Each structure stands twice: as structure tokens, then as C-alpha cells.
């Protein structure tokens, strides 16, 4: 998930440099949403974690 956020961030930066402000804005928003989702999933994983197997 964070990989895709980084990809969209790079796409947004390149589009911004080339002057495609609409594409840059959309790519930046997608990158932000994916980043937030990735962080939320990371926190959920860290909180729940994997305990020792119950016997």
C-alpha cells in the first residue's frame, strides 16, 4: 500500500514539473489517501499482532 502511495507521489511530482497541474493534484490526493490507509492498516496490525498460538 505504501509502495503505491510512493508511486502516485512520484507521478504527481513529475506531472507538476511538466505543468499538468490537474494530473498532479489527482495523483497527490491518491497518494495521500493510500498513505493514510497504509498507516491505519499498519497501526491495526501492530495493535492486534500475533500472539503465541493457543493450545
**Helix/strand/coil (H/E/C) assignment for every residue in 14-46:** HHHHHCCHHHHHHHHHHHHHHHHHHHHHHHHHH
Q: Is the pLDDT of residue 1 over 70?
A: no
Give pLDDT tens digits for 17-29: 888 778 888 888 8
Quick one: pLDDT band at residue 15, thresholds 50, 70, 90? Answer: confident
Domain range annotation of the chain: 2-47
Q: Supply the pLDDT for residue 35.
A: 85
The Cα–Cα gap between 50 and 2 comes to 22
DSSP-derived secondary structure letter, 19: T
Cell of 30: 491518491
* Mean pLDDT across 1-23: 80
Q: Determine what percent of the chain is predicted with pLDDT higher than 70.
A: 89
Amino acid at each position: 500500500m505504501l509502495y503505491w502511495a510512493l508511486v502516485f507521489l512520484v507521478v504527481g511530482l513529475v506531472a507538476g514539473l511538466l505543468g499538468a497541474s490537474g494530473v498532479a493534484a489527482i495523483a497527490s490526493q491518491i497518494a495521500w489517501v493510500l498513505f493514510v490507509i497504509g498507516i491505519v492498516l499498519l497501526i491495526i496490525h501492530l495493535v492486534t499482532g500475533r500472539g503465541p498460538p493457543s493450545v
